[in-house]
Amino acid sequence: MVVSNPTGHTTNVRGVSGEWEGDGAVTELADRTSSVYLDQWRTAEVIALRSAKLATALLELPNPSRVTVLCCDRHGEDEIVGRIASELIGAEVDVIPSDAAPAELGARLHSSHATVLLACAEGTELWRSSGIPIVVLGEGEGVRWWRIAELRAAPFVANV
């Protein structure tokens, strides 16, 4: 089935039958089928906007010159957003797989001289177990929340 979003883009939504078109399609779809995966709604425009907003949030942190991104497979889009946002502000980026051992994470953070860690909830827990002190923009208790920082920030605009 094909779904049209308000900007005119269309997407196929797996596992749903029927016609879903127009501005209320997402709301109606979410209301009627909570188990549907809407991953395909994540368009390049959404990733670009999220990245631009996260870039602004990164610039509010002390010295975001070397960013490490640590996201699990479930948060692959967040990994992409984190990488793009870091590149937008000219930071060096290191992406660490979420299946890394705490000792490996600690070694990578130390060797890369990372100044900021972007992490999903699972990445935040892995960071906690590493014992490495670093500024964390992530998900979980005791860290600055990535999603809130991203939502509050204005989109980054490069000086050309």
Please give the pLDDT value at position 84. Answer: 95
76 in a structural domain: yes
Q: Which residue has the higher pLDDT, 42 or 74?
A: 74
Average the pLDDT over 140-153 and give the result. Answer: 90
Residue 45 in this model has a pLDDT that exceeds 90: no
Containing domain of residue 34, as a range?
A: 2-41
Q: Nearest-CA neighbor of 93 among 79, 77, 75?
A: 79
Residue 123 in this model has a pLDDT that exceeds 90: yes
For helices 76-88 and 44-59, the axis angle rounded to 10 degrees is 60
Edge to edge, the sheet with strand 116-119 lists 92-97, 66-71, 116-119, 135-138, 144-145
| Class of residue 126 by CB neighbours under 10 A (exposed 0-12, middle 13-18, buried 19+) | buried
Average the pLDDT over 50-71 and give the result. Answer: 94
Q: Say yes or no: 49 and 122 in one domain.
A: yes
Q: Say yes or no: 28 and 82 in one domain.
A: no
What is the helix (H) or strand (E) element at residue 130, kind and residue range?
helix 121-130
Please give the pLDDT value at position 33. Answer: 43
Please give the pLDDT value at position 46. Answer: 86
Q: Which residue has the higher pLDDT, 39 or 122?
A: 122
Residue 69 in this model has a pLDDT that exceeds 90: yes
159 in a structural domain: no
Entry pTM: 0.70
Q: Say yes or no: 145 and 102 in one domain.
A: yes
Q: Which residue has the higher pLDDT, 37 or 88?
A: 88
Q: Which residue has the higher pLDDT, 154 or 44?
A: 154
Please give the pLDDT value at position 42. Answer: 52
Q: Say yes or no: 133 and 78 in one domain.
A: yes
Lowest mean pLDDT among 1-5, 23-27, 50-54, 116-120: 1-5
Q: Say yes or no: 16 and 64 in one domain.
A: no
Other CB atoms closer than 10 Å to residue 83's CB: what's the count? 19
Q: Which residue has the higher pLDDT, 109 or 32?
A: 109
Among all chains, which residue has been given the structure tokens 């705490």?
102
CA 159 vs CA 63, 88, 89, 130, 156: distances in Å: 19, 11, 10, 37, 10
Q: Say yes or no: 129 and 58 in one domain.
A: yes
Q: Can you read off the two tokens belonging to residue 132? A: 């490495």
Residue 3 in this model has a pLDDT that exceeds 50: no
Residue 12 in this model has a pLDDT that exceeds 80: no
